[in-house]
Amino acid sequence: MSLPSGVVVTLIALLSKDGYISEGVGVPFDLPEDKQHFRDYAAGKWLLLGRRTYVEMIGWFRNHVPLVLSRDSSFQPTIGRRVASVQEAIEIARENGQTELVVCGGGAAYAAAISAAEKLVITRVDRLLGRGVMFPSFEQDGSWRLKKRDVHGGALPFSIEVYRRKRADFTI
């Protein structure tokens, strides 16, 4: 069983050790292995992005359907479509037979979507940033269970962690 919408909302993000996703523009660490992980996870899926992140990623979309959060009703993405809320995005994904909606950032989109999320896929880089755009805090509220952690070494060590919301059943 999944949530009543039938759509599992997943947040996927790369975080510094102190919880930042960006220093202002772009992703703060260049990790080819993580880029491949992101590409693999997002392939063929319906995505939800804030307008700023969508603008940064334009040109990247291939077999994805991006739903773009914006309060500007005159905004028309060249690929995908605008949504005014996370709920609208979930509804559109459901109407189109999707079982998952992948939230790809940025900070405002993660903050808007985390209460609807059942799954978090977090790349955690072993470096402090000290400032920037934050990922919403999630570990302290006791709602999440760490299901998997893959540790990667090298010059810039990182781990890929999968969390599931407690007491929910999951289809994916």
Ligand X SMILES: NC(=O)c1ccc[n+]([C@@H]2O[C@H](COP(=O)([O-])OP(=O)(O)OC[C@H]3O[C@@H](n4cnc5c(N)ncnc54)[C@H](OP(=O)(O)O)[C@@H]3O)[C@@H](O)[C@H]2O)c1
Cβ contacts of 141-144, under 8 Å, gap ≥ 24: 142/166, 144/120
Least separation in angstroms between CB 96 and ligand X = 20
Choice between 73 and 142, CB closer to ligand X: 73
The helix or strand, by DSSP H or E, that contains position 53, with its residue range, turns out to be helix 51-57
Decide if 114 contacts 138 (C-beta within 8 A).
yes
Task: Give the Cα-Cα-Cα angle 63, 103, 85 (nearest 5 degrees).
Answer: 110
Choice between 2 and 29, CB closer to ligand X: 29
Choice between 5 and 70, CB closer to ligand X: 70
Which residue of this chain has its Cβ atom nearest to ligand X in the complex?
106
Decide if 133 contacts 106 (C-beta within 8 A).
yes
14 lies in the site for ligand X, by CB under 6 A: yes
Q: What is the rounded radius of gyration, in angstroms, for the C-alpha atoms of the chain?
A: 15
Of 33, 58, 60, 75, the residue at the interface with ligand X (CB under 6 A) is: 75
Choice between 75 and 171, CB closer to ligand X: 75
121 lies in the site for ligand X, by CB under 6 A: no
Decide if 115 contacts 88 (C-beta within 8 A).
no
Least separation in angstroms between CB 167 and ligand X = 26
Which residues of this protein are in contact with ligand X, per CB under 6 A?
13-14, 21-22, 25-27, 50-53, 56, 69-72, 75, 84-85, 104-109, 112, 133
